[in-house]
Chains A and B, each alone.
Chain A
Amino acid sequence: MTAMDTGVATDIAQYAEQVRAALADLGPDQVDDLTDGLEANLADALADAGRAPRGSLVDEFGSPDVYARELRAAAGLAPAAEQRDGVLRAALAAPWRAFREIDRAALARLRATRWFPGVEDLLVALRPAWWVLRGWTIAHLVLQVAAVEPYPAFWLPSTFAGWAVLVTAVVASAQWGRGRWRTGPRWHRLLRLVSAGSAVASVVLLLWVPSAQRNELASLRAAVDAPAVDGVVAGGERATNLFVYDADGEPVDGAQIVDQDGRPVTTEPYGGDLWRQQQYWPGGSDEPLFRTGAPGADGVLRWNVYPLRSAPEGAFDLDRYWETNGLRLRDDADGLLVEPDWPFTTRPPVAVPGASAAAEGATDDTGSAPTTDGTAETNGGPTDPAAGVAPSTPEPVAPSAAG
């Protein structure tokens, strides 16, 4: 069977359905009785070489309504009762009929042109592709509405249920398209409505599915490409504070921590920027607390000095913050500072491997002292004293509430 034959079979099936729909008021038994063998008769008439083909079935046999009227009249049955369904239906039906008439006239005019018959042949040959697309569209709508498939939709389903729905929908769509499934006039009308709806939905889906996938891919790439934020991760969570114990297991207050390149290690990625810094609401407090670093020689807070203290917003010198763009504690902030809770008073002592040799080999780490903006001076390297802005001895650090 060629595509053209399939197309004709579909046309015949549709025409026959429309005739049945026009007879629907007679009741199903009588409709069946009257239209038994209708498809065969239509096909024979079209295939009859003695008749000059005039184009569509409507050109050949008249509109399905007229055909049904003749069938009914010749069979001695009462003509269809005029629309009893009231004003609304009549008002809707009239423009619909007018539209169908215009549609038919436009089609006739197109068919008279030289190029259209070729295009129509091509479109008819492509009809199976539309059946598949229609099934795919309905399956996707069902799967998305029922939330069987994850959002956003991919071209093909990922679950067994998804595949089952997709295959069922495509087979149903194709079988209906081929005219293999005959339905009552009511169902037929509903299915035509569904078909028209899925034509619109298929366009939306074809535009949406790839763009949704592209968006998801782009956001994934952005997340992967985004530079890592400063911080310390322990046990899979971000540490919010660090506590240093020496080799004897005694707590070390005011320990300055840097990495192998001398960069300050901080648990506050936005330290010094109160508007982005993390707020804490410890139990019972009526205002949020912020972690605070330790002031350096210039009073500007350093954020790699542990353990960090906490302080309410009032403890920070906001006036000078605007002027100098460096966050400082107010002079009278000491009473507002909240001491950190050390997780252990002491730790078991440890032996430092090769401790004596390491102490002798250590360089005076002055070049890599953090600059006021908190970033390490790395271009000169730790052994280049000229690059350092800090004094030659380690910067004195005074956690205000330490004593």
Chain B
Amino acid sequence: MDTTQLLKGVLDVAVLAVVDDEDGYGYDVVRRLRAAGIDEVADASVYGTLRRLYAAGALTSYVVPSDEGPHRKYYGINAQGRAMLEAQRKDWDEFAATMTRLLRTEEGR
């Protein structure tokens, strides 16, 4: 199954979860998603998602200057983002449970 297609629907919640865990900058978020096992996501998709969530008011952003090289833009979650994460987590749980039930039934036949 093409998991990239599946991922597109849930990338928002995955990114929110990662940032909720700890503030992070662009590539930092990519790395933590990969470490969590989501390694088929394109870097650019994560950066774009961060931008969109920020524009939607779910994330805060601040710049941290770096001694070596360019500054890094960190993203943190805010109340709206947490609410969004909670709602999506619930949706996912329900959806996942439904899918699991469905697929198990299909297998059982």
Q: A residues within 8 Å of B by Cβ?
A: 33-34, 36-41, 43-45, 48, 50, 61-62, 67-68, 70-76
Contact = CB atoms under 8 A, between A and B. Distances in A.
Contacts of B46: 74
A40 B70 contact: yes
B27 interface: yes
Contact of A40 (B26, B30, B52): B26
B27 to A, nearest CB: 4
Interface in B66-88: 66, 69-73
B31 A71 contact: no
Contacts of A71: 44-45, 47-48, 51
A40 B65 CA distance: 11
A45 B72 contact: no
A45 to B, nearest CB: 5
B52 A48 contact: no
A62 B27 CA distance: 16
Given A37-B72, A50-B31, A68-B44, A74 B26 contact: no
A45 B48 contact: no
B44 A67 contact: yes
B43 interface: yes
B43 A61 contact: yes
A70 B31 contact: no
Contact of A74 (B11, B66, B69): B11
Given A44-B28, A70-B44, A74-B44, 18 more contacts: A34-B48, A34-B51, A37-B25, A37-B26, A37-B70, A40-B25, A40-B27, A41-B26, A41-B27, A41-B30, A45-B43, A48-B31, A61-B42, A70-B42, A71-B44, A71-B48, A73-B45, A74-B48
Nearest to A75: B48
Given A34-B48, A50-B34, A40 B43 contact: no
A62 B42 contact: yes
A48 B29 CA distance: 13
Given A48-B31, A61-B43, A70-B42, A43 B69 contact: yes
A379 B81 CA distance: 114
Contacts of A68: 44
Contacts of A44: 26-28
A48 B27 contact: yes
Interface in B13-58: 25-28, 30-31, 34, 42-49, 51-52, 55
8 contacts: A34-B51, A37-B26, A40-B69, A43-B69, A44-B26, A48-B27, A48-B31, A75-B55
B93 to A, nearest CB: 24
A146 B52 CA distance: 51
